[in-house]
Amino acid sequence: VDKQEVNTWSVARAHTNIALIKYWGKRDEKLFLPTSPSLSLTLDSLYTDTRVRFDPKLSSDELWLAGEKQDDKSTVKITRVIDLFRARYSVPEQTPRMRVESVNHVPTAAGLASSSSGFAALAWALRDAFESAFPQTVAMDDRELSTFARRGSGSATRSIFGGFVEWSYGTGSNDSCAIPVDDARWDVAMVLAAISTQHKKISSTYGMKHTAETSSFYSLWREASEQDLATVREGIRERDIDKIGAAMEANCMKFHATMFAANPPFTYLTSRSWRVIEFVHEMRDSGLSVYFTMDAGPNVKILCRASEQQFVHDKLAERFPEITLFDALPGSGPETLS
Ligand code: 2P0
* Each residue's pLDDT tens digit, 153-195: 999 999 999 999 999 999 999 999 999 999 999 999 999 999 9
Mean pLDDT score of the chain, rounded to an integer? 95
Q: Of 43, 160, 204, 299, which is best to mutate to test ligand 1, by the most ligand atoms within 8 angstroms of its C-beta?
A: 204
Please check whether the two domains, 3-185 and 189-328, share a CATH topology: no
Q: Distance (Å, rounded) from C-alpha 169 to C-alpha 146?
A: 13
**pTM, to two decimals:** 0.96
pLDDT of residue 229: 98
Q: Distance (Å, rounded) from C-alpha 95 to C-alpha 31?
A: 25
Residue 108 has pLDDT above 80, yes or no: no
Confidence of residue 114 (pLDDT cuts 50, 70, 90): confident
**What is the ipTM score, two decimals?**
0.98
* Ligand 1 atom at minimum distance from 17 CA: 20
Instruction: Summarize the confidence of residues 299-316 as an average pLDDT.
Output: 98
CB 39 within 8 A of CB 181: yes
Of 183, 118, 112, which Cα lies nearest the Cα of 154?
A: 118
pLDDT of residue 112: 75
Ligand 1 lined by 204 (C-beta under 6 Å): yes
Of 96, 158, 93, 160, which Cα lies nearest the Cα of 129?
A: 96
Closest Cα to atom 20 of ligand 1: 19
209 alpha carbon – ligand 1 mean position (Å): 11
29 alpha carbon – ligand 1 mean position (Å): 13
Q: Span 3-185: which CATH code?
A: 3.30.230.10
Can you give the residue ranges of every domain in the chain? 3-185, 189-328
Of 77, 74, 159, 83, which Cα lies nearest the Cα of 114?
A: 159
Confidence of residue 200 (pLDDT cuts 50, 70, 90): confident
* Domain topology for 189-328: Alpha-Beta Plaits (3.30.70)
Packing angle between helix 115-133 and helix 72-88, nearest 10 degrees? 40
CB 251 within 8 A of CB 295: no
Instruction: Summarize the confidence of residues 255-277 as an average pLDDT.
Output: 97
* Each residue's pLDDT tens digit, 38-51: 999 999 999 999 99
156 alpha carbon – ligand 1 mean position (Å): 8
16 alpha carbon – ligand 1 mean position (Å): 12
Ligand 1 lined by 119 (C-beta under 6 Å): no
Residue 109 has pLDDT above 60, yes or no: no
pLDDT of residue 211: 98
Ligand 1 lined by 149 (C-beta under 6 Å): no
